Chains A and B, each alone.
Chain A
């Protein structure tokens, strides 16, 4: 696997941390794991209520998934300290294997945020994305942007290395955002297609609605597994939809998910890909185990956050301070703290 990006991640991580030597360090009072949501406008959306029945195909195919996570681990007088980690999981035969990258810790300030991001982007993708020129990321958006960058790189690595497999992404195939430039996503999907792999993107949450109902709540009584096809989803420019949107109910129970499948793949192959997923991976509550493991493995636990804070104080001499929580201070038990997503 090409390790250019992790190397750049390490160098930038260490470089950014050098700037915080011997500063005071405010522990984060509210840590939030990354959630990646953006508004999609779907005025003309409709749902075909004739389900596409699925039959598991047990012919052996590799199933791989990738997910990343980021967390704010504290604040300095100049900025924030964040951690990023990614995990790839693949199932071959009966065994799951994983590769975890990170955690990478960054000290992000108003001064270095652009430099850090651009350096990372250039390091792997050789050029800056079209969206990069348009907007300067907000400091609070930086953790998701950096995690997004690592995720794209890991997705690219999977699409370059997996042959005739199923590649699972967390989220949708909507692109044209700062996190997901169109060109880059097209490149990932194209590379996967060249190797006869198909990308399936599962969204844990969706805001797409038909007649006021969430598409994942609007389900026929048919016996799963099945897919429901959507039609007429239009996104506002510059956002582009690189996949066709389905509702996937793959097991019995109440759960169904939005599933995006590469538009360029013929319909029969799309259905075949989902059937291969059914035949080759465990599915619990309609969600593939490989993707679940990728998510679990990259998520930061509270213990890891404490360990990273310990690392920063030990290795970089940061002094931990405990600034009062203004929400708690002002509103007492009613002060639930700031939320940031």
Chain B
């Protein structure tokens, strides 16, 4: 390989057919005399612009488009040299760091010698060692192309905002399960908003047996094993549900506050009593109607009960998880849009409450397709306010444009699966820790189950790995019509 050109922080390297280099590979450009080396990553491979190639190709295609038949007597065996030159490729590489005396710096302000520099492939294990991408809490993400293991440190997810995105069926949920299981293994508290019931068997092996974290997985299905008694609720949590999930206007909310105080004074906070109080409350008819419609929404959700014995306390599960680690899976499958918002509003309110009062240290929140249940104002809340309370969110989506731009800008880690759509790639490349060229070039060619890890988990050295298999029962598979016919 030969150093050819440098433009900005992109170097172009000439590579010959016997040097197999692919997109995503790391190269070390060593300038022995300067005592420094550049670490560069291949982000695109193109044919080298060899003069005369077009003529070479054209003359093999005469009129009619069929290859002309003939014999080449090439006694000096020049033909292999011709193909060797023709097949030379130009590697477009992004400068990632400079190595000087085994120390890494992000500098790209110097230029290695074009004539003297030796260029070789930088094996990923060496890079991981150089960049110190390991730690005390390893999570093996998967295998890299050169059969090394890509191991990240669980602490690099701690206090961070993460995004897992990619096309359908590329392995996003699989990766989020892998991260969850490992976090739970390190005694972390994990809460998952499970839209399709994909995480409910996290405690089972593929053949349906209990796995090591079976006891740490708490699946809460709203209106089934996850119900609330009104008296267990704080007013501000309930108001949150009414205002944000059920869009109760301000005037009506003020009346509701009074009704709640009245019920509290009477010591009789039940659904039935709440309905009766609204009916008999001395207020404007429109306010009453507004309150009644919300009341019926609460009742119809099936999420609320007057039977305290029937109610499950989220707080209990959280406290259980606090001790030994655990995942609380909020199963939102078969839940209507309104009910989903009620549940999410309650869970988030409860989490903030528990974290504010230091009942919980921190929570890793995994939110799949969050735009389907997260209200507008929560996005900013999650990345700014809630992070300070100790809610560290991982968004999982196959529609990257549903996540707001400011979330991308503040994301610390991005796990990117295959995308072919330019618009999707454009959206992801807005992330502050990512350069657009890398995202566009590498993500487009990622095979299924291969993930491009970007950000702090890989110390800003974008790396591709095939996400390792997980012995967990697969759920959330698409129901197929022709499945049994084939």
Task: Determine if chain A interacts with chain B.
Answer: yes
Binding site for B on A (CB under 8 A): 6, 9-10, 13-14, 89, 95-105, 282, 289, 293, 296-297, 299, 301-308, 310-311, 314
A-B pairs with beta carbons under 8 Å apart, 26 shown: A10-B75, A13-B75, A89-B70, A95-B69, A96-B69, A98-B71, A99-B73, A100-B71, A100-B74, A101-B73, A102-B74, A102-B75, A289-B63, A297-B59, A297-B70, A301-B53, A301-B56, A302-B52, A303-B52, A303-B56, A303-B82, A303-B86, A304-B56, A310-B81, A310-B84, A311-B78
Q: Bound complex: CA of A310 vs CA of B78, how far in Å?
A: 9
Q: B4 to chain A: closest CB distance in Å?
A: 15
Residues of A within 8 A of B71 (CB): 98-100
Contact A308 B68 (CB under 8 A): no
Q: Bound complex: CA of A297 vs CA of B68, how far in Å?
A: 10
Contact B84 A293 (CB under 8 A): no
Contact A307 B69 (CB under 8 A): no
Contact A100 B52 (CB under 8 A): no
Contact A307 B59 (CB under 8 A): no
B29-72 contacts to A, CB under 8 A, are 50-53, 55-56, 59, 62-63, 68-72
Q: Bound complex: CA of A322 vs CA of B86, how far in Å?
A: 23
Contact A100 B85 (CB under 8 A): no
Q: Bound complex: CA of A9 vs CA of B76, how far in Å?
A: 10
Residues of A within 8 A of B72 (CB): 99-100
Contact B70 A305 (CB under 8 A): no
Q: Bound complex: CA of A14 vs CA of B75, how far in Å?
A: 10
Supplied contacts A301-B55, A303-B52, A307-B85, 4 more A-B pairs, CB within 8 Å: A13-B75, A282-B63, A302-B55, A306-B51
Residues of B within 8 A of A104 (CB): 75-76
Q: B177 to chain A: closest CB distance in Å?
A: 52
Given A98-B70, A100-B72, A308 contacting B53 (CB threshold 8 A): no
Q: How many residues of B contact A (CB 8 A)?
A: 24
Q: Bound complex: CA of A282 vs CA of B73, how far in Å?
A: 26
Q: A331 to chain B: closest CB distance in Å?
A: 24
Residues of A within 8 A of B55 (CB): 299, 301-303
**Across the A-B interface, the 4 shortest Cβ-Cβ residue pairs:** A301-B52, A302-B52, A98-B70, A302-B51
Residues of B within 8 A of A303 (CB): 50-53, 55-56, 82, 85-86
Q: Provide the main secondary structure of the chain B interface.
A: mixed
What residue of chain A has the Cβ atom nearest to residue B58's Cβ? A296
Residues of B within 8 A of A297 (CB): 59, 70
Given A10-B75, A95-B69, A100-B71, A306 contacting B50 (CB threshold 8 A): yes
Contact A6 B73 (CB under 8 A): yes
Contact B78 A304 (CB under 8 A): yes
Q: Bound complex: CA of A307 vs CA of B77, how far in Å?
A: 11
Residues of A within 8 A of B75 (CB): 6, 9-10, 13, 102, 104
Residues of A within 8 A of B56 (CB): 301, 303-304
Task: Choose among B50, B71, B73, B86 the residue with the greatest number of A CB atoms under 10 Å from its CB.
Answer: B73
Given A10-B75, A96-B62, A301-B56, A307 contacting B84 (CB threshold 8 A): yes
Q: Of B68, B73, B78, B85, which one neighbours A97 at CB under 8 angstroms?
A: B68
Q: Of B62, B73, B81, which one neighbours A307 at CB under 8 angstroms?
A: B81
What residue of chain B has the Cβ atom nearest to residue A100's Cβ? B72
Contact B68 A293 (CB under 8 A): yes
What residue of chain A has the Cβ atom nearest to residue B51's Cβ? A302
Q: Bound complex: CA of A96 vs CA of B59, how far in Å?
A: 13
Q: Bound complex: CA of A305 vs CA of B50, how far in Å?
A: 11
Contact A293 B52 (CB under 8 A): no
The tally of CB-CB contacts under 8 A between chains A and B is 91
Q: A38 to chain B: closest CB distance in Å?
A: 28
Q: B84 to chain A: closest CB distance in Å?
A: 7
Q: B8 to chain A: closest CB distance in Å?
A: 28
Residues of A within 8 A of B52 (CB): 301-306
Contact A308 B69 (CB under 8 A): no
Q: Bound complex: CA of A303 vs CA of B69, how far in Å?
A: 22
Q: Bound complex: CA of A31 vs CA of B84, how far in Å?
A: 21
Q: Bound complex: CA of A306 vs CA of B83, how far in Å?
A: 11
As a 0/1 sequence over residues 2 to 31 of chain B, the CB contacts with chain A under 8 angstroms (1 = contact) are 000000000000000000000000000000
Q: Bound complex: CA of A98 vs CA of B56, how far in Å?
A: 16
Q: Of A103, A293, A310, which one neighbours B76 at CB under 8 angstroms?
A: A103
B70-123 contacts to A, CB under 8 A, are 70-76, 78, 81-82, 84-86
Contact A308 B73 (CB under 8 A): no
Residues of B within 8 A of A311 (CB): 76, 78, 81
Task: Choose among A9, A14, A303 the residue with the greatest number of B CB atoms under 10 Å from its CB.
Answer: A303
Q: Bound complex: CA of A302 vs CA of B56, how far in Å?
A: 9
Q: Of A9, A14, A282, A307, which one neighbours B78 at CB under 8 angstroms?
A: A307
Residues of A within 8 A of B59 (CB): 296-297, 299
Q: Bound complex: CA of A298 vs CA of B70, how far in Å?
A: 13
Q: A30 to chain B: closest CB distance in Å?
A: 14
Residues of B within 8 A of A306 (CB): 50-52, 85
Contact A100 B73 (CB under 8 A): yes
What residue of chain A has the Cβ atom nearest to residue B75's Cβ? A10
Q: Bound complex: CA of A98 vs CA of B85, how far in Å?
A: 24
Q: B83 to chain A: closest CB distance in Å?
A: 8
Residues of B within 8 A of A305 (CB): 52
Residues of A within 8 A of B81 (CB): 307-308, 310-311, 314
Contact A99 B70 (CB under 8 A): yes
Q: B18 to chain A: closest CB distance in Å?
A: 12
Task: Choose among B50, B51, B76 the residue with the greatest number of A CB atoms under 10 Å from its CB.
Answer: B76
Contact B62 A304 (CB under 8 A): no
Given A282-B63, A293-B68, A297-B59, A310 contacting B85 (CB threshold 8 A): yes
Q: B50 to chain A: closest CB distance in Å?
A: 5
Residues of B within 8 A of A296 (CB): 59
Q: Bound complex: CA of A6 vs CA of B73, how far in Å?
A: 9
Q: A151 to chain B: closest CB distance in Å?
A: 15
Q: Bound complex: CA of A212 vs CA of B76, how far in Å?
A: 48
Task: Choose among B52, B59, B63, B86 the residue with the greatest number of A CB atoms under 10 Å from its CB.
Answer: B52
Residues of A within 8 A of B84 (CB): 307, 310
Q: Bound complex: CA of A297 vs CA of B84, how far in Å?
A: 19
Residues of A within 8 A of B53 (CB): 301, 303
Contact B74 A103 (CB under 8 A): yes
Contact B63 A103 (CB under 8 A): no
Residues of A within 8 A of B50 (CB): 302-303, 306
Q: Bound complex: CA of A306 vs CA of B55, how far in Å?
A: 14
Residues of A within 8 A of B78 (CB): 103, 105, 304, 307-308, 311
Q: B353 to chain A: closest CB distance in Å?
A: 72
Q: Bound complex: CA of A293 vs CA of B50, how far in Å?
A: 23
Q: Bound complex: CA of A105 vs CA of B77, how far in Å?
A: 11
As a 0/1 sequence over residues 372 to 413 of chain B, the CB contacts with chain A under 8 angstroms (1 = contact) are 000000000000000000000000000000000000000000
Contact A100 B51 (CB under 8 A): no
Q: Bound complex: CA of A218 vs CA of B390, how far in Å?
A: 93
Contact A304 B70 (CB under 8 A): no
Contact B70 A97 (CB under 8 A): yes
Q: Bound complex: CA of A234 vs CA of B402, how far in Å?
A: 87
Residues of B within 8 A of A102 (CB): 73-75
Q: Bound complex: CA of A105 vs CA of B78, how far in Å?
A: 10
Residues of A within 8 A of B85 (CB): 303, 306-307, 310
Q: B322 to chain A: closest CB distance in Å?
A: 68
